[in-house]
Amino acid sequence: MSLDAKTVAKMARLARVGLSDEQVHTYQKEMQGIIGWVDQLNEVDVTDVPPMIGTGLAQPRLRDDQVTDGDCREKVLSNAPDREGPFYTVPKVVE
């Protein structure tokens, strides 16, 4: 499968990673190489094989519907790069 520069630029947009044209070019070559290498998985017969979602060792468990944590607004906000009072700030989203 070929992975062209347009696709790399699209992935960068989807992942919200800003890339220069030059970087798109570099990543395109490297990613093409890696994708070419993983294509060997097509040799494997996976008919009727279920996907492995986890190791299956941990049992799903229920807990009581009780508050066990919280009431720590200052802690939660302590690493905010920018804030106003109890709010995180972002650039204007709605005009």
Q: For binding to another protein (CB under 8 A), which residues are involved?
A: 1, 3, 7-8, 11-12, 14-19, 27, 30-31, 33-35, 37-38, 40-44, 46, 49-55, 57-61, 63, 72, 75-76, 78-82, 88, 90-91, 93
- Pick the closer one to another protein by CB: 21 or 55: 55
Cα distances from 21 to residues 2, 9, 11, 38, 44, in angstroms, run 19, 9, 13, 25, 36
Instruction: Give dist(CA 36, CA 81) in Å, integer.
Output: 40
Smallest distance, another protein to C-beta of residue 25, A: 13
Instruction: Give dist(CA 59, CA 13) in Å, integer.
Output: 38
Smallest distance, another protein to C-beta of residue 65, A: 14
